Amino acid sequence: MNGLPLLSVMTWAPFVSALVIMFGARHRPRLVRWTSVVGTSISLVASVWVYWTYDRVAAGFQFREEIALVPSLGISYLLAIDGMSALMALLTSIIIFAGVFASWTVKERSQEFYALLLVLVTGVYGVFVSLDLFILFLFYEIAVLPMYLLIGIWGSSGQIRPQGIFGWAMGRTGVGTKEYAAMKLTLYLLFGSAFILVGILALYVANGSQSFSFLAFEAMQFDSTLQTWVFLAFYVGFGILAGIWPLHTWSPDGHASAPTAVSMLHAGVLMKLGAYGVVRLGMGLLPEAAVDWAWLVGTIACINIVYGALSAMAQTDLKYVIAYSSVSHMGIVLLGAATLTTNGLNGSVFQMFAHGIMTGLFFALVGLVYEKAHSREIFKMGGFGSMMPGIATAFTIGGLSSLGLPATAGFVAEFLTFLGAWTSDHPWWLFPGVIGAFLTSIYVLRVAKQIFWGPKTDDPHFQHLPDAQGPEWAALGILVFVLVLFGVVPSLAVGPVDTFTGPFLERLVGR
């Protein structure tokens, strides 16, 4: 556009700051943090700039950058952004920026922690902005792998009692420990990425091994049988990351064991990579199969919504509640996409954003509560509202967004999805969606009442707890502000997304 490769700046700034941290800030924790702030600020500014200057009239892919890497195989460094990915990049920037502040108090090996976190973020940006599927896959792996270390080293373990007919196996695998969670998450996601790789290669070969460019694939009309199978591969591969039932069980364990910023980033952004992959690659490249498989995607999404909400209700560990709520909300994302309607898709993409922000906020809050009260046991805590009014208020706002209260981003996303569901080929999808929202109101307010807005407990540990302080406010403030802003002025997000939805659906269903 104007000479400055904005997308590359956005993508690589965290990586560069990770290098600076590793080589230039040894044993200087404050410098580590400020370098991270600077790096993520650059990305934030770049993504806001891209988002703001994105030409909604022209629509399509903009801010293109292209460098041929391996011409013989058709691999090139091709970046561009459209209405959907611009919103996703913005989400990533907001979450990581808040996440840097939320991890301010990490003590152990903070240098490596921040470096890994920033490398991971580069991977996330890369997936959202790459149009070359080979590069996209590389970024995807960069985004997934550091998780193993981040959870395995800085995570926290819990205890789960083995029960049931598979109880013998749980003891064997070490359920509940952070090592287990890290291993489970990594193996599960790598299992998924094997499907993705197969899918990409299948399309590459079918396209005559010319190019890995998304645009080249998009121009192709693939054979229906190939579409059917590749779609399934993408759906399973990316779907695992999006938490589709019954392949979601990595998510509660992983998110519960992960340190605060990692949970924020993982639930807030990485799960969106999965949904983004299903929409962009699965549905975008394989329109016929997308229409044929919509019933499956939507039905599984409905199961996700209700099952996730019920599972969340059953939890006694605060972090597990939030983790299961992600499973439920990701159902809304995929349900919206499966409706194959304008409103449904707008709702789906908006829900990716809304859920990213709200779950980022939730995990930040859980981290803060844990730091102050050293507990995640919901039914042992109580009456924190008077001691930490700021945290309590932020939790309530996040919860309200989660249950789809108007004037928060969650409402608009759910409402659009519901409209889409009722006008899709499977109108009954509306009902699980609405019921899920109702169940959410039950488990969220139950938790809010127990921990914050209820009578105080007698437990001496919980008598004098401080509210959030210093940099912690930054994380909460940003996320709450965004959640409310996009709820009150939804056109901020839906506007650009709408430019993506129209042509996208045109390809799929010709309307």
Partner 1 sequence: MMTDPGLLALVALLLPALSFLVLAVAAPLRRLGRPAAWFSILCAGGSLAAAVQAWAAGGDDVSRLLWAWLPAGGGTLASVGVLADADSTLMLTLVALVAFLVQLYSVGYLSDEPPPGLGRYYTYQSLFAFSMMALVLAPNFVQLFIAWELVGLCSYLLIGFWYQKPEAARAATKAFWITKAGDVGLLIGIVLLWRQSGTFDFFELRLLAEGGALPLAGLSLITFCIYLGAVGKSAQFPLHVWLPDAMEGPTPVSALIHAATMVTAGVYLLTRTEWLFALTPEVLAVVAWIGAFTALLAAVLACVQDDIKRVLAYSTVSQLGYMMTAIGAGLAAAGFFHLLTHGLFKALLFLGAGAVIHAVHSNDLSHMGGLARRMPHTAIVFLVGTLSLAGIPFFGGFLSKEEILGAVWAGGFVGPFLLLMVVALLTAFYMFRVVFLAFFGEPATAHITATVGAAHAGHPHDPPASMRVPLWILAAMSLGVGISSTMAGQMLQFGPAEREGPAWLMPSAVGVALAGILLAWLTYQRRTIDASSLAAAFGPIRRAALARFWIDDIFEGGYRVGLLGFSRAVGWVDRYLVDGVLNALSAWTLTAGDDVRGMQTGRAQDYVYGVAVGLLVLLLWVQWVLA
CB of 73 to partner 1, least distance (A): 35
Of 177 and 213, CB closest to partner 1 = 177
Q: Which residues in 143-238 belong to E strands, given as ranges?
A: none
404-423 residues in contact with partner 1 (CB under 8 A) are 405-407, 411-412, 415-416, 418-419, 422-423
For the chain, how big is the Rg over CA atoms in Å? 22
Partners of 79 in the beta sheet?
Answer: 65, 130
Residue 62 main-chain phi, psi, to 5 deg: -130, 175
Non-local (6+) Cβ contacts of 63 within 8 A are 1, 6, 7, 50, 54, 79, 80, 81
Say whether residue 167 binds partner 1 (CB under 8 A). Answer: yes
Q: Is 385 one of the binding residues for partner 1 (CB under 8 A)?
A: yes
Is residue 510 involved in binding partner 1 (CB under 8 A)? no
- Residue 196 or residue 400: which is nearer to partner 1 going by CB? 400
Provide the Cα torsion 280, 285, 288, 290; round to 10°. -20
Does residue 449 bind partner 1 (CB under 8 A)? yes
**314 makes contact with partner 1 (CB under 8 A):** yes
Shortest Å distance, C-beta 277 to partner 1? 22
Instruction: State the angle between helix axes of 250-257 and 178-206 in degrees (0 to 180), rounded to the nearest 10.
Output: 130
Contact (Cβ atoms closer than 8 angstroms) between residue 476 and residue 357: no
Member of 430, 475, 476, 478 binding partner 1 (CB under 8 A):
430
Rounded Cα distance between 61 and 39, Å, is 25
3-state helix, strand, coil in the chain (%, to 5): 75, 5, 20
Contact call for residue 82 and partner 1 (CB under 8 A): no
Residues in region 183-222 near partner 1 by CB under 8 A: 184, 187
Give the DSSP H/E element, type plus range, for residue 228. helix 224-242
- Which listed residue (3, 71, 246, 470) binds partner 1 by CB under 8 A? 246
Contact pick of 22, 153, 160, 465 for partner 1 (by CB under 8 A): 160
Residue with smaller CB distance to partner 1, 119 or 327: 327
Query: Which of residues 92 and 251 has its CB atom nearest to partner 1 in the complex?
Result: 251
Q: What is the per-residue DSSP string for 320-386?
A: HHHHHHHHHHHHHHHHHHHTTSHHHHHHHHHHHHHHHHHHHHHHHHHHHHHHHH---BGGG---GGG
Residue 229: alpha-carbon gap to chain centroid: 26
- Residue nearer to partner 1 on the CB measure, 10 or 181: 181
Do 306 and 324 form a contact (C-beta atoms < 8 A)? no
Asked if 318 interacts with partner 1 (CB under 8 A), we say no
Shortest distance (Å) from residue 210 CB to partner 1? 34
**Dihedral through CA 150, CA 152, CA 155, CA 159, nearest 10?**
160
Q: Angle at which helices 430-451 and 287-314 pack, to 10 degrees?
A: 30
Minimum distance of partner 1 from residue 183's CB (angstroms): 9
**Cβ closer to partner 1: 5 or 502?**
502
Please identify, using beta-carbon distances, which residue of 138 and 434 lies nearer to partner 1: 434
Within 10 Å of residue 20's Cβ, how many Cβ atoms? 18
Q: Is 158 in the site for partner 1 (CB under 8 A)?
A: no
The pair phi, psi for residue 317, each rounded to 5°, is -100, 125
- Does 338 bind partner 1 (CB under 8 A)? Our answer is no
Judged by CB under 8 A, the residue of 11, 17, 342, 359 near partner 1 is: 342
Q: In the complex with partner 1, which residue's Cβ is closer, 34 or 431?
A: 431
Does residue number 469 form part of the binding site for partner 1 (CB under 8 A)? no
HSE at residue 414, side-chain half, CA atoms within 13 A, is 30
Residues lying near partner 1 in the complex (CB under 8 A) are found at: 160, 163-170, 172-173, 175, 184, 187, 246, 249, 253, 307, 310-311, 313-315, 342-343, 346, 383, 385-386, 400, 403, 405-407, 411-412, 415-416, 418-419, 422-423, 430-431, 434-435, 437-438, 441-443, 445-446, 449, 453-456, 490-491, 494-495, 498, 501-502
